[in-house]
Amino acid sequence: MQALAERVMEGYRGVCIAMEPRTGEIFAYVSSPDYVLAPFTGPIPLALWEQWRDHSDKILLDRAINGLYPPGSLFKLVAVAAALAGGKIDPNETVECKNVYVFGNRVFHCNIWPGHGHVNMEDAVRLSCNIYFYKLIQWIGFEAWVGMAHAFGFGSQTGVDLPLESVGLVPTPEYMDREYAEEGWTAGHLLNLVLGQGDLLVTPLQITRMTAAIANGGRLVTPKLVKSPRLKETRDQMLGLPPRVWRDIQKAMYQVVNGENGTGFRARVEGGSIYGKTGTAQNPHGEGHSWFSGFVNTTSDRQLVVTVLVEQGGLGSRTAAPLAARLFEDFIRRYGDGRKDLAQIP
């Protein structure tokens, strides 16, 4: 799987991670582009080191744990979890999306014209409807959103057995007061944050752990690259949300890949039950970053989470999702067809 992930990411700048969601065991870990290891067997020539250090693609950067990116629409799942856990929404209640949302003196837009019409929670995740989430963040509030982000482990290290892991950034009211002391910040900033934009920054491994928690029903696992009895045992954390919350989120993620007009349809694999979420994160330096994170269940009761990030790859549905599908396809071939389970129950 490691070899496949390296082939999948060839020619891209980004990350591919495959992880077992119940144990945190990492099967594939790719930060692309990479460098050859042979020179580390002895003194590295200064010219080669300077070439690596100054490389335009930052090949020495471990993008999986040190790359900091806005997560885009992947982070809508955090808002859904906060809303469901706090009883702020009825999953079947609808919001009307006409593409345009006026908030104060600003105009916000959805991702398609003329909008999605009436959408409930599952529709909003499947279609990645921005208007629904503009309203959702106001219903749940800033503090609840921050609390759920922290509960999923954002803003802190995952505990993976690697040094110097970055923590990312989850903006809090105190952070916003400090950073925007001169001009001030408004509730309009929250409309960007709920879409995974603004000041919010995450690592691809943090996203992988979030998806694993959704897949396994609320256990925040510690990612592991090495399996050894000599390593210190880690204690996983439980998010403590009701089972219905995970059920509703899983059903929505299933529709993202398998439902009508779902944004993750390119992650669909023959014979497999794939769940996922796409994201396209705005990038001030060029094309948006392309995200997909999801999981598969198989008839042999095996699970796999796959997260793909392609820097400046454009739409997550177009670039990252089909790359993730290649790992799902290989996994299903090895461990059996994807089972039909709770996500397909009406």
Element (H, E) at 292: strand 286-297
**CATH code reported for the domain at 2-38+62-335:** 3.40.710.10
As a whole number of angstroms, the longest Cα–Cα distance in the chain is 64
Residues 6+ apart with CB under 8 A from 187: 103, 104, 138
- pLDDT per residue, tens digit, the chain (346 aa), is 999 999 999 999 999 999 999 999 999 999 999 988 888 888 888 999 898 889 989 999 999 999 999 999 999 999 999 999 999 899 999 999 999 999 888 899 998 899 999 999 999 999 999 999 999 999 999 999 999 999 999 999 999 999 999 999 999 999 999 999 988 898 889 999 999 999 999 999 999 999 999 999 999 999 999 877 666 667 789 999 999 999 999 999 999 999 999 999 999 998 779 999 999 998 888 899 999 999 999 877 889 999 999 999 999 999 999 999 999 999 999 887 545 544 443 3
The predicted pLDDT at position 231 comes to 63
What is the model's pLDDT at position 344? 45
CB atoms within 10 A of CB 226: 11
Domain ranges of the chain: 2-38+62-335
pLDDT, residue 286, reads: 86
Both structure tokens of 231:
């390593």
The residue whose two tokens read 């948006």 is 288
Record the pTM: 0.94
User: Closest Cα to residue 74, out of 227, 214, 273?
Assistant: 214
Cα 35 to the center of its chain, rounded Å: 26
Q: What is the DSSP annotation of 319-346?
A: THHHHHHHHHHHHHHHH-PPPP-GGG--
At residue 247, the pLDDT reads: 97
